[in-house]
Amino acid sequence: MILYLGTSSLMKFYVEEEYSDMVRRWVREAEIVSTCRVAYAEVISSLEIRLKQSDLSKRDYDRIVKRFSLDWPEYASVDFDDREAGRFIKKYGLKRFNAIHLSAAKLIVRGQNGISLTFSSSDPYLCNAADSKGLDVLHFC
């Protein structure tokens, strides 16, 4: 099974949050963990914000950034279809990077028979859109 992690789920893998244990279990069970190539910048940005807001200590920030950077080559980092992402913004009212993640996940399964991809995000609008597009969605509950 391919597990696609949107940035919010990817963050749960590295930073202790509600449902982090679930994400870590899903990652252990997946054959391949994928995300969009923009997730690298999104995660670093999120960590920077948490550091500036004192939600992370400098020590934890440095440790997480190092681990994430070392792990990054292990993820199946994929591109996205820019026009499709634009259509998802209009159709589902998604934020820009959520639409990009949905497009990236759809790109993985496009034209592929028998690929099992499971999508994860903590954003309910993105999960609903992914479900509407026929993706198997892991929900936090």
Half-sphere exposure at residue 95, Cβ-oriented, CA atoms within 13 angstroms: 10
* Cα separation, 120 vs 76, whole angstroms: 15
**Residue numbers of the chain with a pLDDT score lower than 70:** 141
Distance separating alpha carbons of residues 7 and 94, to the nearest angstrom: 14
pLDDT given for residue 139 in this prediction? 81
Interatomic CA distance for residues 9 and 24, integer angstroms: 10
- Helices 58-71 and 7-14 cross at an angle (nearest 10°) of 120
Q: For residue 60, what are its two tokens?
A: 């934890």
Neighbours of 124 (CB within 10 A): 10
pLDDT the model gives residue 111: 75
3-state secondary structure of 80: coil
- Tell which CATH architecture fits domain 2-138: 3-Layer(aba) Sandwich (3.40)
- Prediction pTM value: 0.93
Residue 141: its pLDDT value, please?
54
What number of residues does the chain have? 141
Digit-coded pLDDT (tens) for 100-115: 999 999 999 997 877 8
Residue 114 has φ and ψ, to the nearest 5°, of 85, 0
Sequence spans of domains, the chain: 2-138
- Burial label for 14, CB within 10 Å (0-12, 13-18, 19+), is buried
- Cβ distance 54 to 94 under 8 Å? no
